[in-house]
Amino acid sequence: MADFNDLTGQVAVVTGGNNGIGLGMARGLAQSGASVAIWGRNAERNAQAEAELSEFSKAKAFACDVADRDQVAEAMAGTIEEFGRVDSLIANAGIGGKKGPFHEMEIQEFHGIASVNVDGVVLSFQAAIKEFLKQESGGSLVAVSSLAGIEGAGTNIHYGATKGAVLAIMRGVAAEYGRYNIRANAILPGWIDTDMTEGAVGSEVFWEKVIKRVPIRRWGKPEDFAAAAVYLAGPGSKYTSGQQFVIDGGYSIF
């Protein structure tokens, strides 16, 4: 019987894989047999995640600020040196915005968030594509966007704009590189309990106004993203490209 979840022999990169949603996806990939490289800045979290993932499969963390072209190139070179190839890359690293009235937002604030959420995806995708082009099997790219990328986000407009940008990047890459067996897709999380949302997670007001409107009636968890990562990295999705996968407990249709 075909096992589309078996990633043995595959090498997956997860940017921001040392925490939150990225770590949830990295766990799923490692548990499915992939060798996993995680790229992140925080040395302590990198070491912790590497140790945890190593219990399931081969895993290595690389110190990398995805907004920095040279650091991305070094992390990819290190990944290839360690594992010999790369088959998938999930551009998950991202930061939230400082909320406030749009008309008062400093343009530097916009540039700061875009440097990670957009430049980081561009640089990571470019580095992976260069590797994918060397192999007939191509590879799989995944951008972690957000519901804010399609709905927009009042008082957090710059964040929504960066997440919309990565959807257009993903679709363009899917169109340009499909002929090389390179596919690109996006995952759009809803409200997920991570460090990014810690201010809202304990809030009763937030529960009453927002989480009660999630049909599955709870915050999402990092582990809710594991299977989607495995599907998009693996052979089951080899004819799936240019698509957006919303994982939000049904929030966006209610």
Please, which residue, 116 or 182, has the CB nearer to ligand NDP?
Answer: 116
CA 32/CA 87 separation, integer angstroms: 14
The answer to whether 231 is a known catalytic residue is no
Torsion over CA: 145, 67, 55, 232 (sign): positive
Q: Measuring CA to CA, how many Å separate 188 from each of 55, 128, 191, 251?
A: 28, 21, 10, 12
Beta bridge partners of 153: none
Q: What is the DSSP letter of 218?
A: S
- R_g over Cα of the chain: 17
Q: Which amino acid is at 17?
A: G
Q: How far is the CB of 91 from ligand NDP (least distance, A)?
A: 8
Q: Measuring CA to CA, how many Å separate 146 from each of 92, 119, 136, 152, 248?
A: 11, 16, 31, 9, 10
Of 159, 177, 231, 251, which one is the catalytic site residue?
A: 159
Q: Site residues (CB under 6 A) for ligand NDP?
A: 15-16, 18-22, 39-42, 45, 64-67, 92-95, 116, 120, 144, 146, 189, 191-192, 194-197
Q: How far is the CB of 2 from ligand NDP (least distance, A)?
A: 30
Q: How far is the CB of 249 from ligand NDP (least distance, A)?
A: 11
Q: How far is the CB of 177 from ligand NDP (least distance, A)?
A: 22
Please, which residue, 15 or 185, has the CB nearer to ligand NDP?
Answer: 15
Beta bridge partners of 140: 88, 183
Q: Which two three-digit tokens encode residue 102?
A: 């749009």
Catalytic residue IDs = 159
